[in-house]
Structure 1
Amino acid sequence: MALLVAAGAAGGGYWLWQQDQRLQAQHSQYLVAGSVQADLQPMQERLSALSSELQQLTQRSSGPGEQALARLDKGIAELGERQSRVQQQLAKQQQADTDLQQNAQQLKQRFDELARAKRAAWAESEAGYLAFVAKNRIRFYGDVDSALAALKKADELLADLGGESIEARRGIARAVDSLLKVQSPDRARINRALHQIGERLPELPLAVGTGAEPVASAPASAAAAEGWQAQAGHAWEELKGSLSKLVVVARDLKVVPLVTPQERFFLHQNLTLELEAARLAALRGDQALYQKSLERAREWLGLYFDDQSAEVQDTIRELGELADEPVTVALPDIGPLLAPVERLGFRSAE
């Protein structure tokens, strides 16, 4: 029994010890849970406060942010619309610039066409005038060189006009060909030869005779009122009358020189006038006056100068050769050939 009581007491003690240990463990857990609960409560309260503040902050910030966002969206939309309008305006401006450039190009083309038309009209008018000048230079002056120069210029003006000027240029070419066939007299050589003869006149020896009487000259007022040809005629008549009394050509008589300077002066002056008349007639193409003036000069040289002198003989011979020179030629009538050119000029002037 004692053993049983001792065993029962030991078992009961062990059970009690286990219960005590369990109660201590539960008490420890309770204490820890109470401590955690005490620590968690402030945290829950802080979390609750933070959650409340966050909700309030969210509520306070959500209104202006959305409004600002709405305003921003609205501004972006307005900017988009403005950009769209600007792009449209830019597109319209670009189209206007394109239209303006096209109009400017069309105007330039039109201006160029008008300018070409004006230049063509001017060229046709100028060519017609040059053809008129060439025709009159041949008709009234016999000036082949000037006519050829005018026709060359007229052809240059018509060269750039195209097909409309073909007929006119053909007329110019025919007129030029006809003028190139003309054998023009060498008027420059004739003029130079007559000038040299006139310079030699004072050195030619005069014929000799007997006696000397002064030669009366025409009154100064009457001489001034007449032309040089009339004066030359009067001087020649006076000289012939004076020399008919003054000079007697006699080869078997003793040589007596002319001692009166007045007769020598009038003789040289009349010969000079005849040579000048021949030069003028050569320039004008007056063959009759040219030959008549040279024949009269030769006659005076033979009558009143020493025809035995080599200088006088050479001068008479040279005047005879010059008298045989043609100073005028039969010039072609280029008027009908240049009619297309003149018509072209008249059309442009209308």
Structure 2
Amino acid sequence: MSEADLPKQEQNTPAAESAPPVGTAPARRGNGLALLALLVGAAGVAVAGWGLWQVRSLESRDQQQLGMVEEARGQTQALVQREQLLSARLAELPSAAELDERRRLLVDLQGDQQQLRQRLETILGASRKDWRLAEAEHLLRLASLRLSALQDITSATALVQAADDILREQDDPAAYAARQQLAKSLMELRTTTQPDRTGLFLQLGALRDQAAQLNPLVPAFEDKGGVLLDMAAEGDGRSRWSEWLETLSHYFRIQLNADQNIKPLLAGQSLSQVRLALSLALEQAQWGALHGQTQVYQQSLSQAREVLDGHFNKENPDSRALLARIDELSSQPVEVKVPDLAPTLTALQAYLQRSPEAADGTGPEAADPGEGAEQ
């Protein structure tokens, strides 16, 4: 072997050593095919899943479309029903001739209502002025009734003043005569003194309570001759004889002056009867004071005074005070002379009759002619 051949052998030896074995190449090819098969299978699974998802989407869309179709079908049926109902209502509507007839009837009804309202105003009075004047007449009648029945000056004055205010609101020159009479009546009422009947009634009631507790005065023995002074015993200046006479004087009394009337001592049932008679007399005086009966009032107080004079001593301070109070109340007036409102009422009625509404027969006097007769 030559030296030139030696490097070639040396060069060929490593190449032979680095070359792969003969059996390893097919194994690598099998692994690549398996990996490719896995990739293909995975792609097939993905394609199958995507296809299944597409199928599910199509089915859901189909169901939604079916729901929308059903909803549209329901709306169509509702529209058909509304159309049928509208057609039925249109069929029930009246025709043009019937509408004209109903319009004519409505106009006639409105005209009748207006005529009825006018007739009602004619009967009841065309204006508020007529009724205010009728109210003034009623107030004046009521004031006259209060004066004649109760002698109530205060209430009558207020009623007459209210009637005058109504005439003043009318501002009618024709009411001058009526207002003149009203002014005279007001002046007479305001100058008339109203008796305090309630105060007299209460004062008499207080006297009744005092009379129910009235007791007689027990007489006491008084030695004016000086005989018992000589018989005084030692001690405090009073003898046993004087004490005995003082005790006996509560049961017996010797009156030496025969010209004086001796009043018996009241006790028990006699005292109750006298108190009852005095209370009844004062109660009757209360009735007379409250109802303005002067004769009854004076007679009742006179009876009470006679009861006190006949059964109680003047030395009794309670009976003397009660008698003085009765004399003081006897001078109090319980009745008053009330003014006559008849001329004023006549003047007001004359003014009402001269008013244009009354002359035409449309005022309240013509509407109710029996009202004045009843009152």
TM-score of the superposition, structure 2-length normalised?
A: 0.47
2:346 paired with 1:339? yes
Superposition pairs for residues 132-147 of structure 1, below 5 Å? Answer: 132-147=141-156
Indicate how the Cα distance of structure 1 residues 273 and 346 shifts in structure 2: closer, same or farther if over 3 A, else same: farther
Letter in 2 for 1:323: S
C-alpha distance after superposition, 1:220-266 (max 9, x if no partner): xxxxxxxxxxxxxxxxxxxxxxxxxxxx99799xx999686433333
- Choose the corresponding residue for 2:170, options 140, 155, 161: 161
Task: Give the Cα separation in 2 of the matches to 1:251 and 1:205.
Answer: 26
User: Partner residue of 2:138?
Assistant: 129
Indicate how the Cα distance of structure 1 residues 168 and 249 shifts in structure 2: closer, same or farther if over 3 A, else same: farther
Letter in 2 for 1:188: T
Task: Give the Cα separation in 1 of the matches to 2:285 and 2:187.
Answer: 31
Task: Give the Cα separation in 2 of the matches to 1:156 and 1:335.
Answer: 19
Question: Identity percentage over the alignment?
Answer: 27
Give 1:177 shift: 0.7
2:181 paired with 1:171? yes
SS class of match (1:159): helix
Give 1:346 shift: 4.7
User: Partner residue of 1:262?
Assistant: 269
C-alpha distance after superposition, 1:99-126 (max 9, x if no partner): xxxxxxxxx9xx9999984422222222
2:207 paired with 1:197? yes
More helix by share: 1
Give 1:152 shift: 2.1
SS class of match (1:314): helix
Task: Give the Cα separation in 2 of the matches to 1:139 and 1:311.
Answer: 40
Indicate how the Cα distance of structure 1 residues 203 and 341 shifts in structure 2: closer, same or farther if over 3 A, else same: same
- Choose the corresponding residue for 2:197, options 179, 187, 190: 187
2:128 paired with 1:119? yes
Task: Give the Cα separation in 2 of the matches to 1:130 and 1:190.
Answer: 30
Q: Is the 8 A contact 2:204 2:286 kept in 1?
A: yes
Greater CA deviation, 285-294 or 337-346?
337-346
Q: Is there any run of 5+ residues in structure 1 with no aligned partner, and where?
A: 1-107, 210-247
C-alpha distance after superposition, 1:141-184 (max 9, x if no partner): 32212211221222233332230672333322211111111122
Letter in 1 for 2:309: G
Letter in 2 for 1:194: L
Give 1:276 shift: 1.6
Superposition pairs for residues 29-178 of structure 1, below 5 Å? Answer: 117-163=126-172, 166=175, 167-178=177-188
C-alpha distance after superposition, 1:202-236 (max 9, x if no partner): 22222569xxxxxxxxxxxxxxxxxxxxxxxxxxx
Task: Give the Cα separation in 1 of the matches to 2:305 and 2:143.
Answer: 37
Letter in 2 for 1:174: K
| Root-mean-square deviation over aligned CA pairs | 4.6
Q: Is there any run of 5+ residues in structure 2 with no aligned partner, and where?
A: 1-116, 220-252, 353-363, 371-375
Task: Give the Cα separation in 1 of the matches to 2:288 and 2:347.
Answer: 34
- Choose the corresponding residue for 2:306, options 295, 299, 303: 299
Q: Is the 8 A contact 2:137 2:348 kept in 1?
A: yes
TM-score of the superposition, structure 1-length normalised?
A: 0.50
Q: Is the 8 A contact 1:158 1:165 kept in 2?
A: no
Task: Give the Cα separation in 1 of the matches to 2:160 and 2:180.
Answer: 11
Indicate how the Cα distance of structure 1 residues 322 and 267 shifts in structure 2: closer, same or farther if over 3 A, else same: same
Indicate how the Cα distance of structure 1 residues 119 and 154 shifts in structure 2: closer, same or farther if over 3 A, else same: same
C-alpha distance after superposition, 1:248-300 (max 9, x if no partner): 99799xx9996864333332222122112112212222222211110110111
Task: Give the Cα separation in 2 of the matches to 1:271 and 1:332.
Answer: 36
Letter in 1 for 2:193: Q
C-alpha distance after superposition, 1:46-86 (max 9, x if no partner): xxxxxxxxxxxxxxxxxxxxxxxxxxxxxxxxxxxxxxxxx
SS class of match (2:200): helix
Letter in 2 for 1:170: Q
Q: Is the 8 A contact 2:192 2:338 kept in 1?
A: yes
Indicate how the Cα distance of structure 1 residues 150 and 249 shifts in structure 2: closer, same or farther if over 3 A, else same: farther
